[in-house]
Structure 1
Amino acid sequence: MSTTRPLIAASLALVTAAALTGCATGTEEVAADAPAASDAGTVTFSWDRNTAGEDEEPAYEETTVEVPKNPETIVVFDMASLDTIGALGAEVAGAPLDSVPDYLQEHLADDAFNAGTLFEADLVAIEAQQPDLIVIGGRSAGLFEDLNEIAPTVDLSIAGSFEETLERNTTFLGEVLGAEDEAAEALAELEDGIAEARAVTADAGTGLGLMVSGGRLNAMAPSEGDATGRNARGGLIYDVFGVEPVVEDVKGATHGEPVSFEFLLEHNPDYLWVVDRDAATAAEGAQAAATVLDNDIVNQTTAFQNDQIVYLDPTAWYIVFGGIQTTQIMIDDVLQIAE
């Protein structure tokens, strides 16, 4: 099945936000005399930040940052936030340009500068641009302390469930950009789309999310309430879109190890939901997931014989998940099985 989907309806080109602010515990605060980019006030954003070192047990402390409304110069390290900012009608002045997917390029300013990589910021280049707001998340969350010395910096990483984070981040960015109504409209449309997709998967039987990389197969598992990092990415097909796992305890059945082709035949899900990680990361010389799965064992499975192997958009499901346009792409991917 093809996974090339239209980006999003034209009505979502302008999208996002009802008034809600902060990460897990954000509040709004308008100050008419605050030194904001447009003297329009500020929005206060709070989240629990992991202050532990790389090899240490997580240690969280509440972090609060006051962000100017209507910022003129925005630097973004989180691709989901770039997605949402663009969908709400704003543009981004700087980003890790080598990591911006093709379908999000239009949200960059014509003279957008390269802010570094997802893991390492070019602090000199960023400071030279004097940004009003910096947005980080996921891979770039560790950049907070250095970047917050340059400009107000917020971490929009997934916190809580995917849907809670989508609502929080979209609402916050909508309020910052003066696009509250558009944000609220976008969230309502996405909520309806997810509900439609869940209605389709409810009658689809069992499924297995499968990550293919380097010729190996990894069974994706529900997040089990911990929708952070890899758990969020792996559990989306179950947690958000309601696919019934073919194995009750995927983690227990696989021990976190790659699975075999025989595993697929043994458990024999009605649908295979496939993410080609190598395509998402542009791994050089890698075999396409469809090629890896084209063999005599997989061809005996119910999913293959009923043409129910669904190849999900790899960039949306592995790299960007969490933005407005990208969530619509994911909805469209799931709705393929209703066609």
Structure 2
Amino acid sequence: MRASRPLPALALPLAAVLALSACGGDADADEQAGGGAAETVSFTWDRNVNAADEAADPELEETTVEVPKDPETIVVFDMASLDTIGALGGEVAGAPLDSVPGYLEKYLADDAFNVGTLFEADIIEVESQQPDLIIIGGRSAALYDDLSEIAPTVDLSLRGTYIETLERNATFLGEVLGAEEEAEAAIAEVTDGIEEAKAATADAGTGLGLMVSGGELSAMAPAGEDSDARGARGGLIYDAFGVEPVVEDIKAATHGEPVSFEFLLETNPDYLWVVDRDAATGEAGAQAAEAVLDNEIVRQTKAAQEDHIVYLDPVAWYVVFGGIDTTKIMIDDVLQIAG
């Protein structure tokens, strides 16, 4: 009898042990199923804390954000990032829908929600959707403070050269999406394409990048190493694609940017590389760049007489520049002269 009495007392500890073991097994199973600590990717950049004030001098602050891998809900304010995410097999849940070019709409979720504009976020809508990752860049860089309170937010604005930025952003997004091999292959493809385009421009003589808007002309100039994103965008035809500027210092020669039709005849480049800004921004009732340049003065230029006026895809070169698919469009634009 005495030997059997301890059994009830032992039963409680044994039950507790079994319960704890079961709990431990559940925890292990949860962790194996993805219930453990989420894996992240670090992203570091020099953030301009004065981005909201265009008149203020940039004040850079090194910022590091831990981004969850395989995020379920991605919000993007930067069209180049939407481009690259889609090109790598990802999908975007929220974006400024009115600003998404037609060729990138396929990378939006079927039930994609509108997050505002490229310049102003619909904070209430973004917060209600509980995103796992928010991406800003360029025009939307000033939104960082507000958006970073909702979810991990990174700024993928152009920094360094075009190629450096493209490689950095594609590599980072590839890590986030678990598409490292796809990112590596995409980078190799566009890098090879740019080299092919540069080989074509190397034998094309001189060129002038030209922005047409409101019936007026602006000469585009090489950006230089210290240029802002706007300057880098305008200088792409030279800096990324190797076109030889028709004059050594275009900014000095034009006393800024606006130029006359006579300037085209005076400098007489072998090629004119034209971006129709009004077409890029959807300006209602605007005169097309081709119509603006169809006049007696321009017809006297070497570029016009030799059919060397190249009209570049306005959305790719002015709005989106920086994504994988967009860079392929730009490469094809330049390679028109190789045909």
With the length of structure 1 as denominator, give the TM-score of the two structures.
0.88
Is 1:238 the counterpart of 2:238? The answer is yes
- Residues 98/37 of structure 1: CA separation in 2 closer, same or farther (3 Å cut): farther
Post-superposition CA distance 1:246-296 (Å, at most 9, x none)? 010001111224100000000000000000000000101100000000000
Amino acid at match of 2:335: L
**Residue type of the alignment partner of 2:43:** F
Distance between the aligned counterparts of 2:189 and 2:288, measured in 1?
A: 33
- Give the drift of 1:224: 1.3
SS at match of 2:259: coil
- What is the identity percentage for the equivalent residue pairs of Structure 1 and Structure 2? 75
Alignment of 1:1-339 (within 5 A): 40-52=38-50, 53-339=53-339
Distance 1:141-1:38 versus aligned 2 partners, 3 A rule? farther
Once superposed, what is the RMSD of the aligned Cα atoms?
A: 1.3
Task: Mark the runs of 5 or more structure 2 residues left unpaired by the alignment.
Answer: 1-30
Contact 1:73–1:131 (8 Å) recurs in 2? yes
The CA distance in 2 between the partners of 1:38 and 1:211, in whole Å, is 53
Deviations 1:4-37 (A, max 9, x none): xxxxxxxxxxxxxxxxxxxxxxxxxxxxx8xx99
SS in 1 for 2:275: strand
Q: CA deviation at 1:38?
A: 9.2
The amino acid of 1:166's aligned partner reads: L
Cα offset for 1:76? 0.1
Residue 298 of structure 2 aligns with an amino acid whose one-letter code is V
Q: What SS does the corresponding residue of 2:316 show, helix, strand or coil? A: helix
Return the offset for 1:226.
2.6
> CA separation of 1:87/1:217 partners in 2, compared to 1, >3 Å: closer, same or farther?
same
Residue in structure 1 matched with residue 7 of structure 2 by the alignment: none
Q: Deviations over 1:112-133 (max 9, x none)?
A: 0000011110111011110000
Q: Indicate conservation of the 8 Å contact 1:93/1:112, yes or no.
A: yes
Counterpart CA distance in 1 for 2:181 and 2:224 is 33
4+ residue stretches of structure 1 with deviation over 3 A?
A: 36-40
Counterpart code for 2:177 = L
Report the Cα distance in structure 2 between the residues aligned to 1:192 and 1:50, rounded to whole angstroms.
33
Contact 2:220 2:257 in 1 (8 A): no
Contact 1:226 1:232 in 2 (8 A): no
**Equivalent residues of 2:219, 2:258 under 8 A apart:** yes
Bigger Cα displacement from structure 2, 312-321 vs 254-263? 254-263
Deviations 1:158-185 (A, max 9, x none): 0111110000000000000000000000
Kindly state the Cα deviation for residue 228 of structure 1 after the two structures are TM-superposed.
2.7
Q: Give secondary structure in 2 for the equivalent of 1:287.
A: coil
> Structure 1: any 5+ residue segments left out of the alignment?
1-32
Q: Which structure ranks higher in relative contact order (CA pairs < 8 Å, sequence separation ≥ 6)?
A: 1
User: How many aligned positions are there?
Assistant: 305
8 Å CA contact 1:158–1:227 kept in 2: the answer is no
The residue type equivalent to 1:128 in the other structure is: S
SS in 1 for 2:103: helix
Aligned to 1:23: none
Q: Distance in 1 between matches of 2:224 and 2:56?
A: 23
- Give distance in 1, aligned partners of 2:85 and 2:180: 12
Normalised TM-score (structure 2): 0.88
Contact 1:161-1:227 at 8 Å conserved across structures: no
CA distance in 2, matches of 1:257, 1:236: 15
Once the two structures are TM-superposed, the CA of residue 40 in structure 1 deviates from its matched residue by 5.0
Q: 1:38 to 1:139 in 2, by over 3 A?
A: farther
> Aligned letter for 1:50?
N
